[in-house]
Amino acid sequence: MNLKKMIILNTILTFALCFLTHFVYTLLPNPVFAIFFPVNESIWEHMKMLYTTILLYGIIEYLIIKKYNLYHNNFMFSLLMKSIISIPIYLLMFLPIYLNFGENMIITFIILFITILIVNYIGYKILSLHPISYQKEISIAFIIIVYILMGLLTFKAPHREIFFDTEDEKYGINDYLIKK
């Protein structure tokens, strides 16, 4: 196993893990899980799912790197960057199609897979860089800050289209649209 082969393995397993993390809050609804997992079917909540899934899969990725004694640098920074940049990459591909044609599950899954493939390639490149000073500390701090923001946007979602769940007609966790 080498880091290049891990790109393919990581992509397939992260993609599969997305299906599990999508339903965590539905199965175990509580305020803590609401911060990490989607609480509705809005576009934003699915970005939260992608971010969390990449970080969760990072545990498996780290174990694989250690098991095969693969040379790497900047693991936490790679994980942070993969999780953060997955959001704009996905949205740049998804939103134009969604806004012009509506949602199509097959297209959505293809875009999700391509996004995960791209960020895993970027993560591989970061793992191959020279060591970055304080990358662990900086990465952990940013991961915590992002989750604080995600929690705020879940419990106090702005009334914008990206935060709106068209199925349940609500924003965030409990802000229902009231029809007149």
Q: Are 26 and 37 in contact (CB under 8 A)?
A: no
Q: How far is CA 10 from CA 58, 69, 149, 167, in A?
A: 9, 16, 26, 31
pLDDT per position as a tens digit, 92-147: 999 999 999 988 999 999 999 999 999 999 999 999 899 999 999 999 999 999 99
Alpha-carbon distance 123 to 105, whole Å?
27
Domain carrying residue 151: 3-170
Which is more confidently placed, 146 or 169?
146
Does some domain include residue 178?
no
Alpha-carbon distance 36 to 34, whole Å?
6
Does some domain include residue 113?
yes
- Among residues of the chain, what percentage have pLDDT more than 70? 98
Ramachandran class of 134: left when φ > 0, alpha when ψ lies in -120 to 50, beta otherwise: left
Does some domain include residue 154?
yes
The chain-wide mean pLDDT, for the chain, equals: 93
Does some domain include residue 175?
no
What pTM did the predictor assign?
Answer: 0.92
Does some domain include residue 180?
no
Does some domain include residue 158?
yes
How many domains does the chain contain in total? 1
